[in-house]
Amino acid sequence: CLPPARPSPIPPPLSLSSLLGFSFIGFARGQSRTAPYRSVNPATAGALEPDFFPATVAEADKACVLADQATPVLAGLSGQKKAAFLRDIATRIEAATPALVARATQETGLPEARCQGEIGRTMGQLRLFADLVEKGDWIDARIETANPDRKPLPKPDHRSLLRPVGPVAVFCASNFPFAYSVAGGDTASAFAAGCPVIVMAHHAHVGTAEIMGGLIVEAVKAAGLPEGTFSLLMGEGRIIGQQVAKHPALRAIGFTGSRVGGRALMDTAAARPTPIPVYAEMSSVNPVVLLEGALAARGEAIATGLVGSCTLGVGQFCTQPGLIVLTRSAAAEAFVAKLSALFTECADGVMLTAGIHQAYQKGLADRTAQSGVKVIAQGKSSGQPNRAVATLFATEAKTFVADASLQEEIFGPSSLVIWCADQCEVDAVLGALHGNLTATVHGTDAELGQHAALIARLEAVAGRVVINGFPTGVEVSHAIVHGGPYPSLSDGRTTSVGSNAIYRFTRLVCFQNYPDAALPAELRNANPLGLSRLVNGTRSNSAI
């Protein structure tokens, strides 16, 4: 039984001096003082106070045990109680925005406006899931009533709905300190499903993570929920994160990051005595196909929009358009000339970490050295620490099709133009594509009608197909799909953004021949929650 929820107080102002540098193990704080580390301001390369201390293996185990103990309590929560909890987290984040922005700008080099916008998105995600679970229809209640007179065998009573899977580990992303972090979409969707959450803080913005973790812990306490509802672990993902991934209490993992990191978790989860799913968002090059009519009609506008999309956030978005596919023509040549000029004018930008900057530099060097690939434009360099210079490459379709490494993501403001001689070469390029989060087509209305097969090819390799737009910017909604075939996602049937993300952390349970009083409220004959249910194949809000 849950104790009565306490009224949610107005969150007190937070200050950077309140950071302690320890994990949250349920309601307790970590005790280890070994191997301290600090986050770094990428704009100055200067270390930030205070010291942070990795969780120990014992503390990680304790967090998992507490989550396991909290599982049945959270699974039994009503939609109204979960909604109130999610909204309270959002309210606390709103009140703490100044402290969150102050720390995040130091740890990431991101501007204040970007951080404030991302905090708004984070609160919006929490409230979206609150509305979803409060309404309740998401559980997909289905009822097939018994027919004892059916021949040759009686028909049993079957009733099913979605249940939470249990404890979920969330690995925070480097490039989104809020929306894909401690209180981001993975955490929000897991809480909405009724799952305890253990978060692995990202070392690049661990101070921001501590502030956010404290807000969630206070919301857990205010709701009267068990302390295992939430834990925040600091430390190296390859050590403590792997320990959590192997723990027998864990039931699913949410991850946003590199393909190397995602595959490591996938392999660990598959090798467990009881394998568990890993929902990993990894790499995507987000191809953009430009058709002749669109280039002739508005080539300069497309070039301006495309360079903005390529360099937005210093190219550190998972939807950054890394491939530009077009057929040689006068309009295409003029377009690439304009795009090259715009790239040349780009100022460099601060990358999130020194490690990301080093990886970007290596990616540029490797691509420059590849046979059949050339640099056609580079932006300006200030020579300051951790700055990325926008870089535009070009190659021929035959080279691209023959070299799978040209589909490897360069995380930063870089794109590759792929020149095709004709539509057959365009088809060959699209046929060689790996899975992506997005694919984009620019064309006239007539061209879009004529190229239905091309668009169908893109649907097969991307989770979101954009027409006459740009892929950066992911609207959080009930219909959004932020996912795609491997390697963009480990499971291309899912999404990591939007209300459909909740289904990753659920499983179907069927109740056969249960007495009505023993059924979950969602499946009882009277339909006390007023849900829309599928009853004997017909959608209904009525009682049976």
Residues taking part in catalysis: 281, 318
CA–CA distance from 312 to each of 153, 352, 456, 471 (Å)?
Answer: 63, 13, 28, 11
User: Would the CA dihedral through 328, 334, 339, 340 be positive or negative?
Assistant: positive
In the three-class reduction of DSSP (H, G, I as helix; E, B as strand; rest coil), residue 332 is classed as: helix
Counting every residue written for the chain, the total comes to 544
- How many CA atoms within 13 Å lie on the side-chain side of 346? 32
Q: What single DSSP character describes residue 13? A: P
CA–CA distance from 212 to each of 103, 217, 344, 386, 492 (Å)?
Answer: 11, 9, 39, 26, 30
E strands in 391-488: 391-396, 414-420, 436-442, 462-467
Q: What single DSSP character describes residue 365? A: H
* Alpha-carbon gap, residue 33 to 47, rounded angstroms: 18
Q: Which of 3, 24, 1, 76 is nearest to 223 (CA)?
A: 3
User: Would the CA dihedral through 107, 110, 116, 120 be positive or negative?
Assistant: negative
**CB neighbour burial string for 413-430, b if at least 16 within 10 angstroms, e if fewer:** bbbbbbbbeeeebbeebb
- How many CA atoms within 13 Å lie on the side-chain side of 471? 31
Can you say how many angstroms the Cα of residue 384 is from the centroid of all Cα atoms in its chain? 30
User: Would the CA dihedral through 312, 314, 319, 322 be positive or negative?
Assistant: positive
* Alpha-carbon gap, residue 432 to 295, rounded angstroms: 24
Burial of 164 (0-12, 13-18, 19+ CB in 10 A): buried
Q: Are strands 506-512 and 158-164 parallel, antiparallel or unpaired?
A: antiparallel
**CB neighbour burial string for 467-505, b if at least 16 within 10 angstroms, e if fewer:** eeebbbebebeeebbbbbbbbbbbebebbbbbbbbbbbb
* Alpha-carbon gap, residue 208 to 214, rounded angstroms: 10
DSSP per-residue string spanning 249-282: T--EEEEES-HHHHHHHHHHHHHSSS---EEEE-
Q: What single DSSP character describes residue 162? A: E
Q: Which of 142, 311, 489, 89 is nearest to 100 (CA)?
A: 89
Tokens of 475: 């609207």
